[in-house]
Amino acid sequence: MTAAWVWIYWLAGGVSAGLFAYLLYALFNAEEVA
């Protein structure tokens, strides 16, 4: 899964870091999602 690193950031840095990583992931993959 490409989103695996988001969970790694979440566990390593806490919820705020995980949410930030998820937002970056969503932005970089917005074209694929939309």
* Tens-digit pLDDT profile for residues 1-25: 567 777 777 777 777 877 787 888 8
Residue 31, pLDDT > 70, answer: yes
Domain coordinates in residue numbering, the chain: 4-33
In whole angstroms, what is the distance from residue 3 CA to residue 22 CA?
8
Check if the beta carbon of residue 25 is closer than 8 Å to that of residue 3. yes
Name the pLDDT band for 34 (thresholds 50, 70, 90): low
The C-alpha atoms of residue 19 and residue 15 are separated, in whole angstroms, by: 6
Backbone angles phi, psi at 3, to 5 degrees: -85, 5
Return the SS3 of 14.
coil
Residue 1 pLDDT:
56
**What pLDDT sits at residue 16?**
80
Instruction: For 1-34, list the strands marked E by DSSP.
Output: none
The answer, yes or no, to whether residue 33 has pLDDT greater than 60, is no
